[in-house]
Each structure stands twice: as C-alpha cells, then as structure tokens.
Amino acid sequence: MLNHEIDYQLYGEEMQFVEIELDPEETVVAESGSFMMMDDGIEMQTIFGDGSGQDKGFMGKLFSAGKRLLTGESLFMTAFTNVDVIKRKVSFAAPYAGKIIPLDLYELGGKVVCQKDAFLCAAKGVSVGIELQRKLGTGIFGGEGFIMQKLEGDGMAFVHSGGMVIRKQLGVGDTLRMDTGCVVAYTSGIDFDIEFVGGIKNTIFGGEGLFFAKMTGPGTVWLQSLPISRLASRILRYATGPRKEEGSILGGLGNLLDGDGI
C-alpha cells in the first residue's frame, strides 16, 4: 500500500462532516478551508502541491501545484499528522448542504474522476490531479468544462456533493443520461459524453438546458440532486428580482405581512 491507511466515521445528515482517526505518524491531506477540529497531538502543516509524496524535487511540486490551480483550487494543501504515540482524530466539514462520499480507491480501480470543487480530503499518498476531457463537445457543453479533478492511489479519499447523492452501477454498454451539473464523480471505465436534447420545443421551452450528460458503462457513477451552481442561481434570482407569487392580490398581501413591502 502506498497510501496511509486511515479510519473514518461520517456524522450528520444534511450538513455532514467526516472524522478521521489517525494512528501515530499517519497523515491526511485536505483542501484549505475544510478543517473543522482536531485532537491535541495533531500537527498541521501547509504543503505545496497535492501532498501525494510522489513528486520529485521543486519542479515536480511546482507542476503538481499548477495542476491544482487549473481546477480552481489553491496552490497549497494542508497536511494533518498524528505526532502522538496514541490514536488521534481530526475532522473536516463539507462547505454546503449535501453528502460526503467516501471513496476507497483500491476497490475502485485506483482512479476516480470528480467535478472540480468536489474534493474534501484524502489519505496521504493519494494524488489529486487534473483530468482533461478528450472530447471537444464534452469540454465545451459539459457544464464542468475541459478540466475535472482526478484522484489516483490506493487509499481513502472523500468528496462532497450537493443535496442527496445516489450511486449508480453501470454494466457494459449500460447508458445513463442526466443533467450535466448533477455529475459528482465516476470511475475510469465510464465513457463520459454530451448528448444534444433534440427537438425544437425541448430546446426553446424545456428549461432543462440543451445538453444531457451521457454516461456509458462499465463502471460506477455518483450523482447529486442539487448542484451548487443551480442553488446559487436560484438564490441570486430571488435576491435580485421581484418575487413571483401565485396571485397578485394575495401575493402583495404576503409581502406586506413578511416585511418586504409592495
């Protein structure tokens, strides 16, 4: 095993956090800003690059950090190491309402591709890199662009999703179509493509976008019910425009009663 073998436990329902139990000298690496709490005896250190320990020299670390920058993440990650002689715990929280997904990369073939901002934390040794979409249409219309995150190794990694999460197992040739923003992660055997919705009425009046994400097996796909982009656009719509009510008279009365005025 190249990666540290960490134990964990998930807490919460809609607002989850993961508690990592570290043996002496074990380390977990996490995105900046995901830290929640830790026991005494845990040493925190900011590291340059992805923390996999596989980079050789300064240029290797610089290239690793540059890959992370392309996915919209910080150049730096934080490593939490148990320097005590007994087991200690450190916890990390999801940044918004949803579910944390534990991924055993050893059981999943050593590689999982996920959306750019999904990664939360992982055992030391897991490589956090980039996955370039090979198909032009997927990169332009796929909702996540050309670049996604790639988690490689044989240890535990944790990603987060918005809303509820569902795991779909696809056999050889099985196809699943979904909203492009609902893709959280998928294993390396999945063929990810984009499919035009089709039909002039669907295109103009459907309200669901012009393209589906098309996943073809074999492999595993994780989907989220509430992409953060969808939630943000809905909040922005209600924050910047007039409220749409079912009836103008009752709607106006409701606005008066809750203090929004007319």
* Per-residue pLDDT, 138: 47
Asked, for residue 64, whether it belongs to a domain, the answer is yes
One domain, residues 85 and 168: yes
* Per-residue pLDDT, 153: 92
One domain, residues 171 and 234: no
pTM over 0.85: no
One domain, residues 128 and 247: no
Residue pLDDT, tens place only, 11-66: 998 889 999 999 999 999 998 889 999 999 999 998 876 656 555 555 555 455 44
* Per-residue pLDDT, 139: 46
Asked, for residue 2, whether it belongs to a domain, the answer is no
Whole-angstrom distance, CA of residue 158 vs CA of residue 176: 24
Range of the domain at 88: 7-226
Is the distance from CB of 222 to CB of 167 less than 8 angstroms?
A: yes
Angle at 45 between CA 41 and CA 46, to 5 degrees: 160
Asked, for residue 73, whether it belongs to a domain, the answer is yes
One domain, residues 117 and 202: yes
Whole-angstrom distance, CA of residue 92 vs CA of residue 44: 13
pLDDT bin (cut points 50, 70, 90) of residue 149 is confident
Residue pLDDT, tens place only, 99-127: 999 999 999 999 999 988 889 999 998 98
* Per-residue pLDDT, 74: 57
* Per-residue pLDDT, 188: 92
One domain, residues 235 and 130: no
Contact residues for 27 (Cβ-Cβ < 8 A; gap 6+): 4, 79, 80, 81, 82, 123, 124
One domain, residues 113 and 159: yes
Q: What percent of the chain has pLDDT over 90?
A: 45
One domain, residues 130 and 238: no
One domain, residues 208 and 114: yes
Residue pLDDT, tens place only, 181-225: 899 999 999 998 887 776 545 444 444 456 788 899 999 999 999
The count of domains in the chain is 2
Q: Closest Cα to residue 181, out of 119, 234, 231, 217?
A: 231
One domain, residues 119 and 240: no
Asked, for residue 206, whether it belongs to a domain, the answer is yes
One domain, residues 107 and 146: yes
Asked, for residue 132, whether it belongs to a domain, the answer is yes
One domain, residues 108 and 176: yes
Residue pLDDT, tens place only, 164-183: 999 999 999 999 998 888 99
- Amino acid, res. 155: G
One domain, residues 203 and 123: yes
